[in-house]
Amino acid sequence: MAKVSGEVMPEGSNRVIGRDAMRINIAIGYAVANIIKTTLGPKGMDKMLVSELGDIVITNDGATILEEMNVDHPAAKLMVEIAKTQDKEVGDGTTTSVVLAGNLLKKAGDLLDQSIHPTTIIKGYELAANRANRVLRELGKDVTPEDKETLVKIALVSMGSKGIGSDDEKEKISEIIVDSIGKVAEKQGEKYYIDTDLIKIEKKAGGDVMDTELINGVLVDKEVVNAGMPKTLTDAKIALVDAAFEIEKTETDAKIEITSPDQLEAFLKQEEKMLKEMVEKIKATGATFLFCQKGIDDVAQHFLAKAGIAAVRRVKKSDMEKLARATSAKVVSSISELSAEDLGSAGLIEEKKISGESMVFVRKCKVPKSVTIFVRGGTDHVVSEVERAIKDSLGAVSSAVEMGKYVTGGGSVEMSLSSSLNRYAVEVGGREQLAIQAFAESLEAIPKTLAENAGMDSIDALVSLRNKHKDGNGGGFGVNVLKGEISDMEELGVLEPAKVKTQALSSATETTRLILRIDDIIASKGGSGGGMPPGGPGGMPMGGEY
């Protein structure tokens, strides 16, 4: 075989066959899980990631760590994909899904050493995942956007693992998140649909995390174009225009012959008259504030200021859409088409200087279908971590509302699933039974890691949890990381969206299945760096992790 592959493949290619290939992939997958498992839970640690350019990121968000880590081995890239999928789909639970996948791979490696075929392991894992999803649906409890108390608890747990400050700060931000989701949630039939893109997150270093606020409207990072325009407007009538307040120069080569100063003056006066007419049209509609997606000529700015109309130019398309949703205005592409019906309204518009930069706040919108969370913090690193925490929490709360189910956290639901799967394994029997038991043990990695990160004895914690859950009556008992003991998570208010768990289970199982099916790694010479350097697998700065 080696001779044939040597003739077929170019010189310098690398090939790893059979069990060796599986062991390499399993080792790499488990190593990735080991890197980020210390970030799990409220007592998790942070990672400092330094890029080649010297940019620093300090975070304990699983998806961010894996993205910034720049892994090179193909198996490691598959693990990064799990985190990305979890992040896109739910927005939270990225560390959970990767730790689960890493442990599923490790347990599969143990079974391979016992001469159990990969397809048997895959079959057992699939049976276990299907059963776990069924049990999860039964364990889930109902939640709606009106259950603010429950949703705040879900937001707090999602934010708990992010080192963003005191409990008061987390409490305040959680309430902001739940309020913002309540504003943009749309009921479709019996279900709710939430587009988190309608919740704009604007950040600015300076002030304190407690200064973070929810704006019932939109914050536009631009300034009013002319000093003569009003900086504060109450009960503003808003026009959104996607057209230039400038005299368009023709694309074709046009030649204007001017033979006297009078002609030049007439030409300039005509230009001025056209701009004045544009402003008159805006004034006639009753608009008092203009958001323009394109440019505004200096002469037009002067006329707008004289008419008492404030204006902002070159507003981003995404901001225009959010303004339309927040103020009920329509974006108009032609100035001549603008009418009073197209205008939106806001209780207050003001230009404020924040950290030396002017910004326009559109506040007090009556029924805002788009809102802004304005994030503050002592330094850029703090603000960025608060933003990541808010994004995770938005994902968690919105997925809880969309699916309408939540479960208890602290590793309690994983222990319930593990206990249920161990009983199910006996029913199934055969060799698959061993794979189902391995799946059940992998689920225990979550409470075990939580206990480790809290400085508890992980073995004692696991034994105690197993005893609580052995008959399937353990309820919400999980790891109380703050007190370092086993407690009822329902009583403590440690709640998580059911979707975080279902997505983590499915993506971890699918990736494990994908990796276990590989029995041959062929890395071509001069590939994209995704193969293996001479001497074995590599491309990951891991120290002696595996």
Q: Are residues 336 and 439 in the same domain?
A: no
Tell me how far CA of residue 100 lies from CA of 33, 93, 176, 374, 447, in angstroms.
Answer: 8, 11, 31, 34, 11
Whether 212 is a known active-site residue: answer no
Whether 94 is a known active-site residue: answer yes
Domain-terminating residue out of 316, 344, 366: 366
What pLDDT is recorded for position 471? 72
Tell me how far CA of residue 522 lies from CA of 22, 174, 357, 518, in angstroms.
Answer: 13, 48, 54, 11
CATH label of the domain that carries residue 75: 1.10.560.10
What pLDDT is recorded for position 434? 92
Reported as a single tens digit per residue, the pLDDT across 116-174 is 888 999 999 999 999 999 998 888 888 887 888 888 888 888 887 666 667 777 888 88
Residue 8 lies in a domain: no
Please pick, among 95, 150, 212, 512, the residue that the annotation labels catalytic: 95
Q: Which two tokens stand for residue 340?
A: 């009073």
How far apart are alpha carbons 71 and 188 in whole angstroms?
Answer: 41
Residue 545 lies in a domain: no
Q: Are residues 427 and 483 in the same domain?
A: yes
Please pick, among 39, 64, 94, 408, the residue that the annotation labels catalytic: 94
Residue 5 lies in a domain: no
Please pick, among 72, 297, 342, 392, the residue that the annotation labels catalytic: 392
For 380, phi then psi, to 5°, come to: -60, -40
How far apart are alpha carbons 98 and 83 in whole angstroms?
Answer: 6
Report the SS3 class of residue 224: coil
Q: Are residues 394 and 412 in the same domain?
A: no
Residue 533 lies in a domain: no
Q: Are residues 239 and 332 in the same domain?
A: yes
What pLDDT is recorded for position 44? 80
What pLDDT is recorded for position 122? 92
How far apart are alpha carbons 288 and 233 in whole angstroms?
Answer: 8
Q: Are residues 154 and 186 in the same domain?
A: yes
Q: Are residues 362 and 372 in the same domain?
A: no
Q: Are residues 238 and 130 in the same domain?
A: no
Whether 61 is a known active-site residue: answer yes
Residue 539 lies in a domain: no
Residue 123 lies in a domain: yes
Residue ranges of the chain whose pLDDT lies below 70: 1-13, 161-165, 248-256, 263, 267, 472, 474, 525-546
What pLDDT is recorded for position 250? 53
Domain-terminating residue out of 351, 384, 403: 403
Residue 1 lies in a domain: no
Element (H, E) at 417: helix 412-428
Residue 288 lies in a domain: yes
Q: Are residues 361 and 262 in the same domain?
A: yes
Record the pTM.
Answer: 0.76
Q: Are residues 343 and 388 in the same domain?
A: no
How many domains does one find in the chain? Answer: 3
Domain-terminating residue out of 305, 340, 366: 366
Please pick, among 39, 59, 61, 297, the residue that the annotation labels catalytic: 61
Q: Which two tokens stand for residue 5?
A: 């592959």
Q: Are residues 155 and 272 in the same domain?
A: no
What pLDDT is recorded for position 267? 65
Query: What range defines the domain where residue 412 resides?
Result: 17-142+408-523
How far apart are alpha carbons 161 and 60 in whole angstroms?
Answer: 8
How far apart are alpha carbons 206 and 220 in whole angstroms?
Answer: 18
**DSSP assignment, residue 168?**
H
Of 48, 34, 150, which is closest to residue 102 (Cα–Cα)?
34
Whether 392 is a known active-site residue: answer yes
Q: Are residues 227 and 349 in the same domain?
A: yes
Q: Are residues 283 and 336 in the same domain?
A: yes
